[in-house]
Chains A and B, each alone.
Chain A
Amino acid sequence: MTVYKFYREPGRYIEAQPERWRWEAYYTDGSSLKQFDDKELLYHQFREIDQSKLDRFVMRHEKSYLVAPLTLKFKPWMKLIHYYENTVSMSMGRGPTRHEKVYCFGYEGSKGKTIIRILPDDSIEVTDGSNN
């Protein structure tokens, strides 16, 4: 399996395991930044994205040959958002703990947020970020 390195501090890295959905940022000058950089084998954090020159934000499935990517055409008035929702559900007398991860991305503008939630079955929901 490919190993991606993440340098939290110079000279010391930890290994980043690939995500089922990963982001790619494409800039107006033709360059790009990928969460999992296949050329340098580096992991990049979301905050490394330069939103001042962002053109497109793409969420790509690990099986990109089976699942189409999702693209956000970025506008200068947008504030880009990306996070994971993690839910741990614990039952009394009903079996084991259940973990669920939802991949979220979108933007915030003067009229509020628009968040696309990619659910565990890879279906998507479009929300205002409040989840209810």
Chain B
Amino acid sequence: MAADVKIVESNGAGETETDITSGNLNMGSGDYASITSSATLPIAAGANGYEKYLRFYVNDISTSDHIKTLKVWMSTDGLTGSDAMMIYATETGYVQKSYAQPVATDSSVATYYIAEAEPSGANVGKGGSLTATLGNGEYSDYIPIQLQVAADTTTGGSFTLSFKYEEVA
């Protein structure tokens, strides 16, 4: 069996962790994982969604040896107006970011515009290293991300985020 790698989200002051791999990445005006309806926590024009702190997590390495080359990017950009998806994920000058309770003010950690094409190399690390590997039960560094909704937004915006990893079996 191939390795079981999850995408997990952390929320709250106590850092509650949720596996969102089979959930969703809906952004909203509340600090919750897998928001089930955009109607319940809408983000007003000119406001921000709450930050999300995401990570890769190796739930079961199974028969594989290790996981490497972690990437995240926005594979489909259906945002409207001047909406911006901000993140901390970079191929250069990478440093590890710590968890902090998510906020809806402009993020002080998700300060890069998200890549809209697959990066050529890893842009998410482990322990501050983009070349480190993940084994059984291990996490990547946090990936802080925030949707900043512009005043000129219109309803119906959407996006797809892609998370990619290489598995050496």
Contact = CB atoms under 8 A, between A and B. Distances in A.
B158 A84 contact: no
A73 to B, nearest CB: 22
A97 B117 contact: no
A17 interface: yes
B105 interface: no
Contacts of A15: 1
Interface in A82-127: 82-94, 96-97, 101, 104
B167 A46 contact: no
A6 interface: yes
Contacts of B65: 45-47
A92 B24 contact: yes
Contacts of B118: 131-132
B62 interface: yes
A12 to B, nearest CB: 13
A43 to B, nearest CB: 5
A85 B1 contact: no
Contact of A92 (B2, B5, B27, B163): B27
Given A46-B168, A83-B166, A89 B63 contact: no
A91 B120 contact: no
B156 to A, nearest CB: 8
Interface of B: 1-2, 5, 7, 20-27, 38, 62-65, 68, 75-76, 78, 117-121, 156-169
